[in-house]
Amino acid sequence: MKNKIIALFIALGAVSSANAQLGGLGGLGGMLGGSKSGGGDVGAMAEEFNRDASAINEVVTYSLIQIVAALGDKQQIAAVKAVNDNLAKTTDPKEKGSIQGTAIKEQAAIADELLKSDQAKAKVEKMEPEMQQKVAKSIFAVGVASLRIPVMMDKGRKIIEGVGSNPMNITKAIPVKDGMAVFIAALPKMPSILTTGLKLMRDVKVDPGNPAADSKIEPDKSVAFPE
């Protein structure tokens, strides 16, 4: 058990280090500091966190795939199509979560760059209306997720603090640590995807709407790829 505890906090230290390198992400620095008691049932809190994180990750994954599929070059489109195909044939929840986590970390930066590209407006103008709506919906969903993630990070911090008061909960905290790592990697790009994406779509007379933390979002698994 002692070795497991050491391993967890080494891993958590890596997440904290990544957070520090990203400039704290608006108050996320010191995630492991403060009170040693998170309060509440750590097991129940972890289960809720993992459920909500999984739902957010699924929405964000398909949204990023759609943005890259619509605006990317042939190589980028082929890469996200492979991810989309893997998700379609994967039934194991852990494997699916791993695929989504990797996709979010890799595709958030690519989607951000594509939306900022000098060719982005011309590409969107040439799209069929259905594809424009899919891109707009994806940008909106990323925006909603970016507003929910800080709350999720706070929940995760409380769960990790709860482990300090009861090391027997260590196995319940490991998936939470993994979920927080995905959020930390993606969050810096998400506000940029939202602001750049909203402006781009409105410039071509397609309004994605104004996302709010309580806006309803669902994964659109029917990704549209260029002919």
- Give domain limits for the chain: 2-8+51-203
Residue 225 CA from chain centroid, whole number: 21
Average of pLDDT values for 139-154? 96
What are the tens digits of pLDDT across the range 33-87? Answer: 333 444 468 888 999 999 999 999 999 999 999 999 999 999 999 999 999 999 9
Average of pLDDT values for 210-223? 95
21 vs 149 pLDDT, higher one:
149
Q: Which pLDDT band holds residue 2 (cuts at 50, 70, 90)? A: very low
CA separation, residue 71 to residues 132, 167, 173, 206 (Å): 11, 47, 38, 16
Please give the pLDDT value at position 165.
66
Closest CA to 49 of 185, 177, 141: 177
Secondary structure letter of residue 119 according to DSSP: T
The predicted model scores a pTM of: 0.81
Closest CA to 86 of 72, 74, 71, 103: 103
